[in-house]
Structure 1
């Protein structure tokens, strides 16, 4: 009970902080105003519709996006089952930030309940149903915060060339797990994301 109470206090504090600043105060300034919409990021983050830490993390990320005066757009990709959506709305959690609601992909494979399926599933649903005005998409996690504006040109992002953070601690995933658990998916040559023959479950394309 204490944990839930603390979470809602955090949400309330973030909401007060957001309400205390006008849109004009949080608008990008300086050279960022000269960027065209097509040269900016549309920031998205997949998350499940649960009334727990994922909710206040979402509020915190949205607040940091505005606090940092990040240019471009922002959308929460909310993976939510039909039967759970009304409760989420009634709790006031549906409209805390710009949101695109998608089905839940946790049970996409009926033999394997796996929450991270929502990462790919929600992004695919969004790009299938929405036409973002920005040329580039920045995919975040709900527990991240933005401390300064991010612009594609500053990160070396170009059409057809993706950029990602280095996750060195995940080194060592080049094993037989994929062959054992998803034998129906054959190895593929993804020369832009990792070594030849890497499989879809290799984290960050990091070779072993």
Structure 2
């Protein structure tokens, strides 16, 4: 999917008792457009009681000169299950990245479970490429797993990768968040796949 200065949206809903797996066959490429301004890409997910949604798209690549804001919101019923993966790659090979702003919000039973935003690339707030954020890595991602069982048996916070580039963080609810950075998309996918194998 190509993005020029416009808005695009995607919605997915898993009804009560259903199991829905959503993937993609190719990466999404954010390209510079002819018009000035920020392009938008909005994702809205809804998961009913007893349902499970696996939202596993391919990477989003922020090409040089692009300016894209991605917002993902998931609304979960109390007994819903969710596996959500986001992966972003800053620039193609040998290319500086465009500007990419990504916000992820999760609500469970109408209450906030997670709300975070990250901006990278030219014009983003200073420090995004520094040691406290990306530390020079070009690929970043996160994995959110929501399971009712985590209410009583939640994994503990831990570093997942030998070099400290991935961590698992329990959330204030039956959910965990895995965040990771990597030098490239292949390494990032391996880290997140290994984390999912532990949590599935």
TM bracket, shorter-chain basis: under 0.3
**TM-score scaled by length of structure 1:** 0.25
Q: Which has the larger radius of gyration?
A: 1
Instruction: Name the one with the larger strand percent.
Output: 2
**TM-score scaled by length of structure 2:** 0.26
